[in-house]
Structure 1
Amino acid sequence: MSAEHKGPGTAAFGWWAEYIEPRDSIPAVRGLAARLRRAGPIEALCEPAVHKLAQALHVSGSEAEAEKLVRLACLLAEVRESDAAPLAYRLGGKEPVLSHARFENLMRAEGETLTDLMRRAIGMANRRCNVGALARDLWYWNDRTRTRWCFDYFHADAPQDDSKETA
């Protein structure tokens, strides 16, 4: 798959695998992950690795895309292990680790509130989830994404949609 045809999930997973995942064996990676976990928007944008992510995602430079880029980089730094299960699936089920009320708050969140609630949710999932799916969902955080998360949270089969995910 060429770089031009990579979706945000695939591109972000590749970035995470190179710049975040090896934190236990490479001190510079550990430092980057720690800085991103604590970073505000300007601090995150001062990291060269974040600009590598922007290149991989073909970010246009709009303010909205810059905000999504920062959120994505900072939240991916929270994830320690990639898993087959999407984050919403790991949070829910018969004995959810994230209460229904908190999940509903997460589904309604936007902006900095979304980042804060998502950070807590990642922690509650033992910092493990499907990194590519999380990246795609954060990039396209919209009603279609939220709908899928609701089905995943309740471990139910979502209705199939023939159209592709779009911004």
Structure 2
Amino acid sequence: MSGEDKGPGTAAFGWWAEYLEPRDSNSAARGLAARLRRAGPIEALCEPAVHKLAQALHVSGGEAETEKLVRLACLLAEVRERDAAPLAYRLGGKEPVLSHGRFENLMRAEGQNLTDLLRRAIVMADRCCNVGTLARDLWHWNDRTRTRWCFAYFHADAPQDDSKETA
């Protein structure tokens, strides 16, 4: 592994591609995905592959980071196929697969409720989305991320972030 510092989306995508994507041809990947889909926090943390993900993400072991790590690993186990479109985009549009009300509930969710609603949303999107973007968004789940998801859900262009502009 190089000393190169990857963002959470890139690091998690690499982990997903190595440990979970080959599940059609690799029984170890299939078994890991099945265990993670059913896992609670302790069961997920008992998986050596989850610790590989923690290393790739430079998790320091704090409670908040550990919770994000478990959520990320378990939800990435739900994704079976990569796509260029982010999850929120796949869920919405003119004829959304996730109703506006359910999407709003998802945007307001926290903790285990967020994990449960995201798990259902991934399934509704045919277990297919942009894995790197999903990982980045889960790692940085905040109001900025939720705003981006709202625009993607409605297939609209998000306003540009002008916080980098100087007067």
TM-score, L = length of structure 2: 0.95
Write the distance in 2 (CA, Å) between the matches of 1:43 and 1:13. Answer: 22
CA 96–49 in structure 1, closer or farther in 2 if over 3 Å, else same = same
Where in structure 1 are there 5+ consecutive unaligned residues?
Answer: none
Contact 1:3 1:56 (C-alpha < 8 Å) held by counterparts:
no
Q: Which residue of 1 aligns with 2:135?
A: 135
One-letter amino acid matched to 1:101: G
Q: Mark the CA change 1:83 to 1:143 in structure 2 (over 3 Å): closer, same or farther.
A: same
CA distance in 1, matches of 2:75, 2:45: 14
Shift of 1:160: 1.1
Count of residues paired in the alignment: 163
| Aligned-partner Cα distance in 1 for 2:3–2:130 | 21
- Which residue number corresponds to residue 12 of structure 1? 12
TM-score, normalisation: structure 1: 0.95
Larger Rg: 2
User: For residues 133 and 163 of structure 2, what CA distance do their matches in structure 1 show?
Assistant: 17
Matched ranges for 1:53-68 at <5 A: 53-68=53-68
Correspondence for 2:157: 157
User: Aligned partners of 2:44, 2:24: CA distance in 1, in Å?
Assistant: 21
| Aligned equivalent of 1:110 | 110
Counterpart position of 1:23 = 23
Partner of 2:40: 40
In 2, the alpha carbon distance for the partners of 1:68 and 1:149 equals 18
Q: Deviations over 1:119-160 (max 9, x none)?
A: 000000000000000000000000000000000000000011
Deviations 1:69-113 (A, max 9, x none): 000000000000010000000000000000000000000000000
Deviations 1:8-57 (A, max 9, x none): 00000000000000001000110000000000000000000000000000
1:119 lines up with 2:110 in the alignment: no
Deviation at 1:4, TM superposition (A): 4.0
Query: For the structure 1 residues 58 and 4, does the alpha-carbon distance in structure 2 shift closer, same or farther, using more than 3 Å as the test?
Result: farther
* Conservation of the 8 A alpha-carbon contact between 1:81 and 1:129: yes
Alignment-mate amino acid for residue 153 of structure 2 = Y
Displacement of 1:5: 2.3
- Provide structure 2 residue ranges, at least 5 long, that are not aligned to the other structure: none
CA-based RMSD:
1.1
Deviation at 1:163, TM superposition (A): 5.3
Please say if 1:69 is aligned against 2:73.
no
Change (3 A) 1:3 1:96: farther
Percent identical across equivalent pairs? 88
